[in-house]
Structure 1
Amino acid sequence: MTIAIDIKPNIILCSPQLPFDVNRKSLLEGFVFFKEAYYSSIEKGTQKGYNSLFKALFEWFEIKQERDGKDWLNLIFSSFSVHDANAFFDYLKNEKKVKYKKIEKIGVSNKTFNNYLTYFITFYNFFIDRSLLPVNQNPLARFSKKNTESNQHTPFTNKQIQLIKQRMLDTKAYQLLTFVQFLYYTFARPGKEVRLLQVKDLRAKTIFFPSSRAKNATGDHVAIPPELEIIIQENNYREYPPHYYIFTLKGKPGPTPVGINYFSKQHRNILLAVGITEPEYDMYGYKHTGNINLYHATKDIKAVQRQNRHKTSAQTDTYLRKLGLLMDEDPIINFPKFGGEELESKKPVPLNEELAFQQ
């Protein structure tokens, strides 16, 4: 049994089928136990995040072992203290060498720091939830996250989208145009959800994203807006074999989907051609623009919630606020006067921009 990082041969690995003794097994053995029991329930991208954390911790153990001679690689699980946890996260911010766009620097970003912290806390909660570790023995319980920018993917304005659409038409990037319109109308993710969309996922009035590809591993439907239905019918997508992928190298449904970076490279060239050079603009921006336009058109948070597949309206409310919506809207200003007379003040005028891609 192995973990995604190279663990030294002298570390005895445990079997996930046996009870895990935190007072006898090492912390690195705990990662193996966790991996075998937990990884099947999370996405591959999240698995990579955990593996990155485990690798960083392993590297830190090796450095510590060279410095003080202590057998850190076989450190007993329950012996990993708050002091050790602080030292590890200090190492991440102040010593660890990282590469970003081929440039080496010292210290992980605040976002990576926060991700590692979340992964580590979840790792400890895994053992606590199974009564393998006392609740008061989580060394990360009082750790705080670093400040980060709340929104990395900037929404496109409708004017920007008009320029992008025209450039795609001029360069005959028809499949790319269809792809980003699916992002805009479905609020889905480009990498796993829309890129791997299959004919069988296109239902009569909805698109189904199966749990194997959906965020949070929960399969669910989104509605097909009228403009998207026109696109589907014009391309006769439902006429192809059910197992065919919508987006392929041939530009029509087929048995093999395009690669993970196929559209992103084309899209970046389109953006540069229309003068959009900032790195925060990417294909996730269409989802945000779609949300903004749907909310402005309907003022219906429930509709936005359903299309986003959010479990709660509070989640949708938070998301819309991050997009700059709901900030100046206070329904109480429209409270009728005593006696039923109309207020002299008028309701805020909603934005009247036409929805992008409207034909």
Structure 2
Amino acid sequence: MTKRTQNSNRSPYPYKLPRLIKTTNVWYILYYVWNVDTQKLVRKRVSVEGRTDAEREQDASEIIAWVSKELQSGAYVGTPKPSPQPAASDVTLSKNLTLTQAVAYFFQTKRDIADSTAILYTNYSNHFLAFFKERGNAQVQLRQITKPVVLAFMDQVRLAGKTRNNILGFMHSFFEMYVEREVIEKNPAAKIRKDSLEESEDHLPFTPEQIRELKESILERGDEQLWLFCQFIYYTFARPGQEIRLLQVKDLMPTSIRITAKRGKTNRFRYPFLSPALEAEIIRLGLRKYPPDYFVFSNASNSDNPNHPDNFKVVPGPTPPGQNSYYNRHVRHLKKLGLFGKDYDIYSWKPTGVIALWSATLDMKLIQEQCGHSTINQTDRYLRKLGLVIRPEKLNEFPTI
């Protein structure tokens, strides 16, 4: 009998919760997640690892808990499509502008939004439009949306604090655009406080001992791909999801890597420097010898056996790996070391690298360039968030007169 599709009130998408499947040769977790492109549930499976049945049961329990949480919080696959909107050229800016028209005009005039950010903004605006449609007010005018209305919408958003703050940030920018154009007089999202986030909601950096243990664990398994992936994050401060995963051979410049505007968070090109250690790895692996359009990290397999050691070797190819491929492989090692679920993940290699470079150089301008921050103040805030400040003992180097 087919298991009934469930839908938590926290998720706008249907899903089927994960369950453990045991066969003679392999154990795996089976679940179904909504594909926003095809508008259908798609089947997914995650392999369970462990040397004994007890270890596999523990691994399965942790995977099921994590996948269930993601599904119930609104996880999906594919790229969300915006709701049908009128063309911006058909929209007349007036005091009677509807929310639907305002959303269309916003996306077709804000051309400086990075692709990844545009996807998130599209998702946020679709939820906001659905909020009014469900209440029989699909043609609400922008001037009718007040602070209490925005608060009512935010109150029914049952997502993590960081996501709630991102939604609120989008709404502030969205309404501010129409204040500037004198369509509305006040920004209804302007004075709404963001959620206070605990420090645990950030990506914790690894300690030197954890770095050593993770490296040993990853290389003991023979996963050269994953270790190189971690090194790229650590040395370049680039983001794993788009900037590293979609890195191509042609992006390996002589002294830097190129992060295109389409892949970057800020919708502009940037060029993090290559450290001597990372450049040595690139040369050792001969990465620049492959075709320019090949992806440095590819999903190509050298064996039908997914656990074959050859599949973990660094071999660029014509197609990139799956979105969560390296994240999931990294989770295995976090679990092995007892770090999973304690605010460590593959993104933790970035703050780990920032701390290491700052400690070695105390060069804020270099950190700014490597992080791609637009201002030195942004870098200062980031360093302080990591607990890094100018050390007072540097005053000992102050020349005497």
Q: Rate the CA distance shift 1:329–1:215 in 2: closer, same or farther, 3 A.
A: farther
Counterpart-to-counterpart distance in 2, 1:148 and 1:292: 22
Amino acid at match of 1:20: T
Deviation for aligned residue 1:19: 4.5
Counterpart-to-counterpart distance in 1, 2:94 and 2:190: 18
Q: Rate the CA distance shift 1:312–1:172 in 2: closer, same or farther, 3 A.
A: same
Matching of residues 41-60 of structure 1 within 5 Å: 41-60=112-131
Q: Rate the CA distance shift 1:273–1:108 in 2: closer, same or farther, 3 A.
A: closer
TM-score, with length taken from structure 2:
0.71
Q: Rate the CA distance shift 1:214–1:59 in 2: closer, same or farther, 3 A.
A: closer
Are 2:97 and 2:183, in contact at CA under 8 Å, matched by a contact in 1?
no
Matching of residues 123-272 of structure 1 within 5 Å: 123-129=174-180, 131-134=181-184, 136-150=185-199, 152-250=202-300, 251-272=314-335
Of 318, 329, 336, the match for 2:392: 329
Are 1:154 and 1:285, in contact at CA under 8 Å, matched by a contact in 2?
yes
Deviation for aligned residue 1:333: 6.3
Deviation for aligned residue 1:284: 1.1
Counterpart-to-counterpart distance in 2, 1:56 and 1:115: 13
Counterpart-to-counterpart distance in 2, 1:324 and 1:239: 41
Deviation for aligned residue 1:255: 1.1
Are 1:210 and 1:219, in contact at CA under 8 Å, matched by a contact in 2?
yes
- The residue aligned with 2:35 is none
- The residue aligned with 2:105 is 33
Larger RCO, structure (CA 8 Å, separation 6 or more):
1
Whether 1:76 and 2:147 are equivalent positions in the alignment is no
Matching of residues 81-96 of structure 1 within 5 Å: 81-92=146-157
Counterpart-to-counterpart distance in 2, 1:73 and 1:19: 17
Cα deviation digits, residues 125-169 of structure 1 (max 9, x gap): 22334x2524x3322222221211356111011111111111111
Deviation for aligned residue 1:274: 2.4
Deviation for aligned residue 1:281: 0.7
Matching of residues 93-104 of structure 1 within 5 Å: none
Deviation for aligned residue 1:77: 2.1
TM-score, with length taken from structure 1:
0.79
Gaps of 5+ in 2: 1-79, 301-313
Amino acid at match of 1:148: L
Question: Would you say how many aligned residue pairs link Structure 1 and Structure 2?
Answer: 308
Deviation for aligned residue 1:113: 2.3
Q: Rate the CA distance shift 1:5–1:235 in 2: closer, same or farther, 3 A.
A: closer
Are 2:116 and 2:263, in contact at CA under 8 Å, matched by a contact in 1?
no
Deviation for aligned residue 1:240: 1.2
- The residue aligned with 1:104 is none
Counterpart-to-counterpart distance in 1, 2:273 and 2:229: 17
- The residue aligned with 2:37 is none
Matching of residues 281-300 of structure 1 within 5 Å: 281-300=344-363
Deviation for aligned residue 1:46: 2.1
Give % identity. Answer: 33
Of 351, 366, 373, the match for 1:303: 366
Deviation for aligned residue 1:267: 0.6
- The residue aligned with 1:351 is none
Structure whose alpha-carbon radius of gyration is higher: 1
- The residue aligned with 2:135 is 64
- The residue aligned with 1:355 is none
Counterpart-to-counterpart distance in 2, 1:312 and 1:41: 18
Counterpart-to-counterpart distance in 2, 1:141 and 1:184: 37
Q: Secondary structure at the match of 2:258?
A: strand
- The residue aligned with 2:7 is none
Deviation for aligned residue 1:42: 2.1
Counterpart-to-counterpart distance in 2, 1:32 and 1:126: 13
Deviation for aligned residue 1:195: 0.9
- The residue aligned with 2:159 is 108
Gaps of 5+ in 1: 8-12, 66-71, 93-106, 341-359
Q: Secondary structure at the match of 1:73?
A: coil
Deviation for aligned residue 1:87: 2.8
Deviation for aligned residue 1:88: 2.5
